[in-house]
Structure 1
């Protein structure tokens, strides 16, 4: 799945619960959530189903735990953002931090993108929608005109689009991530100046 998945595995290796999450996410990404069974997860881990049940009773429990762990930084960012002034610097920092969050959780976000129907039916779909609304709320100044509100929201989704649509294009991953971040930052600057915020 790329360097990010390997890096995540190395940081999380030793912890059985996290090993289960990593292997399950690999399988969900390889063959889809619906086609992956708890038995296959146990086999890939080389443990019994009983050992797997000790940590998780269902696939959804595993997915929810992955989602909660890897998206907690979004909740932390939202809380931080709520306490900050509506300045250009704050909004640029939100975009920068969110770019880092996406990079750290790339396998999860790719899984969610490729399995939108399934995700929508599970609790994680509603939870993710709530996180995105929280992120929107700390980005947008309600006094900004509609065009600038769209620019603020577009900055966030530019980061998502960059992760998905540039992955198969030749080039250094970090250079692509920086280019996407620059475009998102430019949108924030344009929106900020357009709305005349302080």
Structure 2
């Protein structure tokens, strides 16, 4: 009996999240009422309350799920040697996470103040910073550090930007990942060759 209860609850929770996310995107988070979510689901508000008391709870749960995936990736990265192949794999995994979370980025951008008040926005920024740190090399040049940080930001902001382009979503994701990987690889190769100094066109100090 107990073995069938948990999956049913989990499925209901996922359905609530899916419907809420759809309405948040279609008509805006602030304009979406809990009653509309329950009506779309075809359930009573009491049934909805069993899983989520407010629409803020639903929104936080969506970002919490994203945060869990990012935390798992951060934990994996910390266990690995700081090698180029590992960093490339970290970018590849991050690309999938960001791609799947693209609708949440729309909500994040449109409701920055609300999400900051719920600490969701800051939590996401902290996780992005932690991932960026895993791509860095100690004592590397400013140019190399900028390239590593930009590689991750390319995935983050690019995931939103490429949605406006025509083309297959997976092909666009892979193209974006290729560009980010080029930045990361160029920084790493510059460190090994000792040429990752000032950016091109910027004269050295002195």
TM-score, normalised to structure 2, is 0.84
CA distance in 2 between counterparts of 1:19 and 1:70 reads 16
2:44 corresponds to 1:48: yes
Runs of 4+ in 1 over 6 A off after TM superposition: none
SS in 2 for 1:166: helix
Partner of 2:153: 157
Partner of 2:118: 122
CA distance in 2 between counterparts of 1:36 and 1:18 reads 18
- Residues 154, 176 of structure 2: 8 Å contact kept: yes
- Alpha-carbon distance, 1:111 to partner: 2.2
Partner of 1:76: 72
Task: Give the one of 12, 26, 30 matched to 1:16.
Answer: 12
Task: Give the one of 155, 172, 183 matched to 1:187.
Answer: 183
Partner of 2:103: 107
Unpaired runs of 5+ residues, structure 1, are: 1-11
Partner of 1:36: 32
Count matched residues.
186
Unpaired runs of 5+ residues, structure 2, are: 1-7, 194-206
CA RMSD of aligned residues (A): 1.9
TM-score, normalised to structure 1, is 0.87
SS in 2 for 1:15: helix
Question: Equivalent residues in 2 for 1:160-179 (5 A)?
Answer: 160-179=156-175
Q: Return the structure number with greater relative CO, CA threshold 8 A, min gap 6.
A: 1
